Amino acid sequence: MTPFSVQRIDHVVLRCRSFDPMLEFYCGVLGFEIAKRNERRGLIHLRGGTAMIDLVALDGELGRAGGAAPGIEGRNMDHFCLRIEPFDFPALQRHFGARGIELGELRTRFGAEGDGLSCYLRDPEGNRVELKGPASA
């Protein structure tokens, strides 16, 4: 038994080729806000509710340590999941469709709160993002 318990994901770090399309996606489309910039390290911290996503420039101090850029041959990760409220799939389809972003299949998937509806989409760098609603009753 550990002397602590994990409460939630604190943050996810994504290495990226270009900040502008990523900021447009995470801030303009998903509603995150820039919490802090660290130009020296090539790092931008984004906040959405209690979640944080850090964007790291490939040519910055942190990004260079990660090797090759994400692309067809490989990714930084499989996906990460954002728990959202409300989870209204038709409204999500309208919101993302208006921006030319295709949502994946709506289905029940398991997450931190249990089984609930979710769907996937991709950010401008090709990372898979899962949007998840509340657990089913």
pTM of the entire structure?
A: 0.80
Specify the DSSP element, H or E, that contains 43.
strand 43-48
In DSSP terms, 131 is beta-bridged to: 82, 119
Helix (H, G, I), strand (E, B) or coil at 28: helix
For all residues of the chain together, what is the average pLDDT?
88
Q: What is the pLDDT of residues 100-134, one digit of tens each?
A: 999 999 999 988 888 999 999 999 988 889 999 99
- Within 8 A by CB and 6+ apart from 84, the residues are 131, 132, 133
pLDDT tens for 78-102 read: 789 999 999 999 999 999 999 999 9
Cβ–Cβ under 8 Å, residues 48 and 97: no
β 128-135/79-83 pair status: parallel
